[in-house]
Structure formats: C-alpha cells, structure tokens
C-alpha cells in the first residue's frame, strides 16, 4: 500500500480542514455546555430570590420546600391553564414583554403567602425584584431587589438587608385603594412608606414606580384574594 505523502499540499489541506472541524465541534459542545450551566445558575438565582422574599434562608430552605405553585395569571387575575414552570420562569427574563402580553407570573407559598415579580428602571439601568405578601394580600412579608448598574453606596443599597427589611410589615392597601409602598425622602410617616436612601433619590423613585406599576397589574387578583386577616 502506497504511503500518503505527509508533505504534500493535499495532505496539508485535508489535515487542516479536519483539525478546523474538530476544533469547531469542541468549541460548539463547550459553548452549549456553558450555556446550559449559565441557564441553570440564572434559574437557581431566581428561585433563591423568591425564597428570600418569603423570609426564608436559601441556604437552608429550597424553592421546593416553600413554594407550592407557580402560576401565570391573565389580566383578570385568573390562572392561565397549560403554563409550565419553565414557561413561567422564562417570562421572568422579560417581564415587560410578559406584562404587555397580559401574562403575570405569581408564586404561591405553602403558607399562603404570594410572591409577585416586579421590574423597573433605576438611575443607570434596570432594577427588578420580588415582593412577597402575607395571605391577607396586603401586608408585606418580604422583598428582594436587585439592579444592573446603580451607584455603589447610594442607589445600589436597595440590595441590602437594611433597606429591604424596612418593607416588612408595611401594607400596600389603604382601605380599598392600592397605594403600594414607597421610599420617602425625609423618613416614613405612615405604614405605606419606608425611609429613602440618602443620595439615592432617583433609584428610590424608580423603586416606587416599579412597585406601584407592578402591583397594579395584579390588582384584580389581589382584590379577589384579599382578606382582613
């Protein structure tokens, strides 16, 4: 059998093509693996934030431990049938589009609390979060907020336990009127307000708008389930 001339142009071309194909396949496999892992990390982070909003420690309590059901609501506050957990978590990635489509994700806890996702704009970019309500659909159980580029030491303080814990126990209704909870410069004066962040006025205004507009989308659902508990 004749030996293939490894020094020939044909061999060099074939060898180069084969190596390029092999490297391309390896890069594609690696990229897909990283994308899957990144997707899992994002999903886990969302679940941990939901758990934290409910006042639980994500290190000791899992999403499955505290959440009884994830559901998608329509504009009338009714459950949309046929939506999987994957559909609901995917909607969290673009809440603006989901809300515009008349679809509102909600998470119902084992203890009767509910978690509502919210999304808005801070001073330098998007802000988002999860607000948990007690079974009375009025009292704040907890809140988790995050951002993409607020100023460290100022607007970025919305991610701290100090700021978020101030919302616990506040109420979003005044009688039958949804007033939400707002961050007020100069200090809270009633049970619908918390202290604003010094030097973070624009971010606080963004939080106020985010919570009010976000909760308004769930108003029919909240009214249907609200009680005097």
For residue 4, pLDDT over 80 is answered with: no
pLDDT at 56: 95
pLDDT band for position 229 (cuts 50, 70, 90): very low
Considering the domain boundaries, does residue 214 fall inside one? yes
Q: What distances in angstroms separate CA 104 from CA 19, 32, 109, 178, 199, one per listed residue?
A: 49, 30, 16, 18, 33
- 10 Å Cβ neighbour count for 198? 11
Considering the domain boundaries, does residue 20 fall inside one? no
Point out the least confidently predicted range of 9-13, 123-127, 162-166, 209-213: 9-13
Point out the least confidently predicted range of 1-10, 137-146, 191-200, 216-225: 1-10
Considering the domain boundaries, does residue 82 fall inside one? yes
Alpha helices in 101-200 (DSSP H): 161-165
Over range 114-131, report the average pLDDT. 97
pLDDT band for position 149 (cuts 50, 70, 90): very high
Residues 6+ apart with CB under 8 A from 109: 54, 66, 67, 68, 115, 132
Considering the domain boundaries, does residue 94 fall inside one? yes
Over range 132-140, report the average pLDDT. 98
pLDDT at 15: 80
* Structural domains in the chain (count): 1
- Percentage of the chain beyond pLDDT 90 is 79
pLDDT at 32: 78
Considering the domain boundaries, does residue 206 fall inside one? yes
Considering the domain boundaries, does residue 2 fall inside one? no
Burial classification of residue 84, based on how many CB atoms lie within 10 Å of its CB (0-12 exposed, 13-18 middle, 19 or more buried): exposed
Structural domain that includes position 180: 50-225
Over range 6-21, report the average pLDDT. 79
Point out the least confidently predicted range of 27-41, 52-66, 148-162, 164-178: 27-41
- pTM equals 0.83
Considering the domain boundaries, does residue 157 fall inside one? yes
pLDDT one-digit tens code per residue, 191-207:
999 999 999 999 999 99
Beta bridge partners of 126: 121
pLDDT at 75: 95
Considering the domain boundaries, does residue 23 fall inside one? no
């Amino acid at each position: 059998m004749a030996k293939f001339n490894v020094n020939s142009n044909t061999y060099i071309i074939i060898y180069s093509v084969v190596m390029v194909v092999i490297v391309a396949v390896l890069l594609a496999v690696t990229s897909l693996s990283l994308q899957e892992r990144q997707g899992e990390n994002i999903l886990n982070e969302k679940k941990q934030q939901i758990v934290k909003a409910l006042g639980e420690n994500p290190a000791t309590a899992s999403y499955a431990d505290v959440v009884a059901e994830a559901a998608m609501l329509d504009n009338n506050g009714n459950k949309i049938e046929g939506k999987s957990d994957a559909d609901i978590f995917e909607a969290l990635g673009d809440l603006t589009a989901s809300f515009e489509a008349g679809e509102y994700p909600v998470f119902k806890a084992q203890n009767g609390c509910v978690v509502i996702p919210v999304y808005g704009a801070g001073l330098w970019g998007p802000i988002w979060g999860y607000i948990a309500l007690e079974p009375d659909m009025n009292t704040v159980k907890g809140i988790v907020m995050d951002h993409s580029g607020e100023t460290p030491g100022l607007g970025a303080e919305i991610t701290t336990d100090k700021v978020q814990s101030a919302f616990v126990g506040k109420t979003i209704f005044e009688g039958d009127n949804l007033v939400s909870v707002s961050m007020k410069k100069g200090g809270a004066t009633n049970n619908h307000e918390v202290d604003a962040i010094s030097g973070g006025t624009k971010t606080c205004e963004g939080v106020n708008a985010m919570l009010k507009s976000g909760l308004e989308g769930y108003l029919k659902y909240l009214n249907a389930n609200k009680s005097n508990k």
